[in-house]
Amino acid sequence: MKEALQQFPLKGSVTVCEPYGSGHINDTYRVETDEGVQYILQRINRHVFPDVKGLMSNIAAVTAFLGARVSHPREAMALVYTNAGAPYYEDPAGDCWRVYDFVTDSVCLQKIERPSDFYECAFAFGRFQGIMAQFPAETLCETIPNFHNTPDRYEKLRRAVSADSMGRADGVREEIEFALSLEQEAGKLQALRMSGALPTRVTHNDTKINNVLMDQQSGKALCVIDLDTVMPGLAAYDFGDSIRFGAATAAEDEEDLSRMRLDVDLFEIYSRGYLDACDNLTATEIETLPLGAFTMTLECGVRFLTDYLEGDHYFKIKREDHNLIRCQTQFALAADIRRHMPRLNQIVLDCAKK
Ligand code: ADP
Ligand code: GN1
Ligand code: MG
């Protein structure tokens, strides 16, 4: 780590380098120098992201683009290039390291504490989408190919059911039937993308509240972080995944399924924050935001079910049926989102008009 730090032109000599934050993917450290300057140092997770070069070229392009357009430097992450002028350093052991300026006096919430937090989270992702609308999305590499290609996720589910490598398929017939019964609706978004009815945008793909930094004093959104999954996609993916995670009444692994519903008030707050910050979406994009919430939730359930059938290789589990329970909560939430669809469609239209 010391050797990695030496590759970057930091202001002063390093006095502190300690583990920081509670991210699940990368190893993150807070670095401080004798001149009182702070940085974030990260070892990139190569198992999740084998194409570090592609990933870092995405991040370099996106941070430069955002940095040139935000109204305050704290509203965009700034990458520190190595002494050799590269966006990351690969050490002799093959570990890859990157450094960002530390966003000072910021907080990273693990969950929504007040409704205004969700508004701020929406505002941050809406602003990200709005600014990145001018960026040529097709020049970004797909760090995880077919990430939100829902028909492809269904194909993978079918393969897992036929292979039934763990002998678990018989125990989850009801869940498989549920997923298959909604397959056509689940494929709508991808069909609209393929037909060109929805524009390809720069999407973040991990739009959770803990990937937004807020100002410690005012609680206002500062910037979006964790840009590893930035890829070409649809605005509805990011909107939908935020709703899936943030506007649910229960945790992703709640066992009492009757507790899992959509909080329509939180849906409305998110819609308002997102559309207040982003005014460049097409009419079709706005109309399909609620479909995004339904699709991302169902798709996530399909991914959990597939992983359960395949023996839990992808999502970390704490007990044997963890992925099955996660699948069930997502299916319950998707069904509830579907029940509310007329109301949700009205909400996004009203928020877009204001
Ligand atoms: P992971 O992919 O592992 O979730 P993140 O990139 O989200 O990693 O970073 C992990 C944590 O580090 C964040 O939750 C946040 O608390 C902190 N963090 C990341 N970047 C910065 C930054 N530029 N300034 C201040 N804190 C940061
Ligand atoms: C994963 O790593 P984490 O928890 O931020 C997954 C998301 C899922 C989420 C479900 C790269 O996100 O797509 O929605 O789990 N990220 C990746 O909890 O697969
Ligand atoms: Mg993160």
**What CATH number is given to the structural domain containing 57?**
3.30.200.20
Within this chain, do residues 294 and 148 fall inside the same structural domain, yes or no?
Answer: yes
Instruction: Return the best residue to mutate from 27, 142, 206, 307 for the ligand 2 pocket (most ligand atoms within 8 A of CB).
Output: 206
Global pTM? 0.94
- 29 located within any domain: yes
Q: The tokens of 132 are what?
A: 């990145």
Q: Give the torsion sign (CA, 337, 338, 340, 344).
A: positive
Residue range 334-341: mean pLDDT, rounded: 98
Neighbours of 354 (CB within 10 A): 7
- 237 located within any domain: yes
Per-residue pLDDT for 315 more than 90?
no
Lowest mean pLDDT among 19-28, 84-93, 204-213, 317-326: 19-28
The reply to whether ligand 1 has any atom less than 6 angstroms from the CB of 40 is yes
The reply to whether ligand 2 has any atom less than 6 angstroms from the CB of 25 is yes
Q: What is the CATH number of the domain that holds 145?
A: 3.90.1200.10
Report pLDDT for 264.
98
For residue 278, give every residue at least 6 positions away whose Cβ sits within 8 Å of its Cβ, in sequence order, or none: 126, 127, 129, 130, 133, 235
- 182 located within any domain: yes
- 19 located within any domain: yes
Q: What is the pLDDT of residues 196-236, one digit of tens each?
A: 999 999 999 999 999 999 999 999 999 999 999 999 999 99
Instruction: Return the best residue to mutate from 27, 45, 52, 108 for the ligand 1 pocket (most ligand atoms within 8 A of CB).
Output: 108
Within this chain, do residues 20 and 163 fall inside the same structural domain, yes or no?
Answer: no
Within this chain, do residues 14 and 61 fall inside the same structural domain, yes or no?
Answer: yes
Q: Is 31 helix (H, G, I), strand (E, B) or coil?
A: strand
Within this chain, do residues 32 and 80 fall inside the same structural domain, yes or no?
Answer: yes
Helical segments of 72-223, H only: 115-132, 150-163, 173-181, 183-186, 188-195
- 52 located within any domain: yes
Closest-CA residue, ligand 1 atom 9, reads: 23
Q: How far is the CA of 42 from the centre of ligand 3 (A)?
A: 12
Domain final residue, candidates 104, 123, 158: 104
Within this chain, do residues 260 and 181 fall inside the same structural domain, yes or no?
Answer: yes
Closest-CA residue, ligand 1 atom 8, reads: 23
Domain final residue, candidates 104, 133, 168: 104
Cβ < 5 A residues, ion ligand 3 = 23, 211, 226
Instruction: Return the best residue to mutate from 17, 111, 225, 229 for the ligand 1 pocket (most ligand atoms within 8 A of CB).
Output: 225
Q: What is the pLDDT of residues 58-109, one digit of tens each?
A: 999 999 999 999 988 899 999 999 999 999 999 999 999 999 999 999 999 9
For residue 12, give every residue at least 6 positions away whose Cβ sits within 8 Å of its Cβ, in sequence order, or none: 33, 34, 35, 36, 37
Structurally, the chain folds into a number of domains equal to 2
E strand map for the chain? 14-19, 27-33, 38-43, 79-80, 89-90, 96-101, 106-107, 201-203, 212-215, 221-224, 231-233
Q: The tokens of 333 are what?
A: 């939430």
Q: How far is the CA of 109 from the centre of ligand 1 (A)?
A: 11
- 109 located within any domain: no
Per-residue pLDDT for 53 more than 80?
yes
Q: How confident is the model at residue 22 (pLDDT cuts 50, 70, 90)?
A: confident
Residue 349 CA: distances (Å) to CA of 189, 289, 290, 346: 18, 10, 10, 5
- 268 located within any domain: yes
Within this chain, do residues 26 and 78 fall inside the same structural domain, yes or no?
Answer: yes
Rounded Cα distance between 198 and 236, Å, is: 9
CB-CB contact of 333 with 180 (8 Å):
no
Within this chain, do residues 84 and 130 fall inside the same structural domain, yes or no?
Answer: no
Within this chain, do residues 100 and 119 fall inside the same structural domain, yes or no?
Answer: no
According to DSSP, the residues that pair with 30 across neighbouring strands are: 18, 40
- 110 located within any domain: no
Domain final residue, candidates 51, 76, 104: 104
Report pLDDT for 354.
74
- Residue 61: which domain range? 2-104
